[in-house]
A = this chain, B = another copy of it.
Amino acid sequence: MTVTLADVAARAQVSPATVSRVLNGNYPVAASTRERVLKAVDDLDYVLNGPASALAAATSDLVGILVNDIADPFFGIMAGAIQSEIGGPGGRAGGERLAVVCNTGGSPERELTYLTLLQRQRAAAVVLTGGAMEDAAHQAAVAVKLRKLAEAGTRVVLCGRPPAPDTGAIALTFDNRGGGRELTDHLIGLGHRRLGYIAGPQERTTTRHRLEGHRAALAAHGIEEDPRWAVHGRYDRQSGYEATLELLRRDPSLTAVVAANDSVALGACAALRDSGLRIPDDVSVAGFDDLPFSIDAVPALTTVRLPLAEAGARAGRIAMGREEAPPGGIATVRGELMVRGSSGGPRE
């Protein structure tokens, strides 16, 4: 049937132990022997049995990356950066690792199940990306899992996600609150006083933090927020489109719309245009994240750039133990305000 270590050993006239050592390169083997073994491996097209190896060595070369929505470039960019550092194939260092990304679709159950699955596989490391759900029970369940993983020797890193106290997880957190505040500060600075806000899904840390930043800016400038000015939706374009129409219906006098992210902002732009409003002359629009397409919006989107690739790369290195964890196990990654054409002074 399939070729085993023993087959290779037989062909190379050595013991299985020697073959294993040649393959792992962690024990001295005479050059001539090594060559003989390698030749046999090649001749037989031998492929190591991963599960058997993992079982015997009590380690695995699997690294899991959890994302909320794999179809969203926000996660894709981070995942790509993480994966490239994990070394996967082609990465610089060490044994080859299977860096795999798992799509939770924003579902708490799936998140938990994936964690269990990775725990089952005795993953070498796990990176969780993006905002967390705020349901208390779920958070507790995740915390327990993370602690278990850490105890079992799996390195756990959070990238773009708030810290999980007492779990041993390293956190690279995005300063969503600060970014949101800066963005709204900018709009207020331009003279806006009536700002709509399209928030992301309820019960998500990212959603809440960005909204809090927005409100902090309003408060700092003594602007009282009208409850009609905030709408919740999903993190996608269509949601932005619908929410904007709703906002316009509720209060046509709005002069600016702040969106939870760039995709939502794009939908907002479309809705405004379809409503016969010019950007930014009639209404200013702002996004968040600065995804690649945002600069191509017309006008180009004012937004907050998050260093997704850099943060992902760093998370990947930390997960691989190739970079030291930040002091206290927590680092805050700041965004950068990108002022572009979609924001301008309010109409008269």
| Chain A residues in the interface with B (C-beta under 8 A) | 2, 45, 47-55, 60-62, 64, 69-73, 75-77, 79-80, 83-84, 88-90, 96, 98-103, 105, 107, 109-110, 112-114, 116-122, 148, 152, 236-237, 263, 266-267, 269-270, 273, 292-293, 295-298
Contact = CB atoms under 8 A, between A and B. Distances in A.
A64 to B, nearest CB: 8
Contacts of A76: 70-73, 75-76
Nearest to A237: B292
Given A50-B51, A73-B73, A117-B89, A102 B98 contact: yes
This chain's copy number in the assembly: 2
Contacts of A114: 88-89, 98
Contacts of A117: 50, 61, 89, 96, 98
Nearest to A291: B293
A342 to B, nearest CB: 11
A47 B113 contact: no
Contact of A80 (B47, B70, B89, B273): B70
A152 B45 CA distance: 13
A138 to B, nearest CB: 14
A64 B88 CA distance: 14
Given A2-B152, A102-B99, A121-B98, A60 B70 contact: no
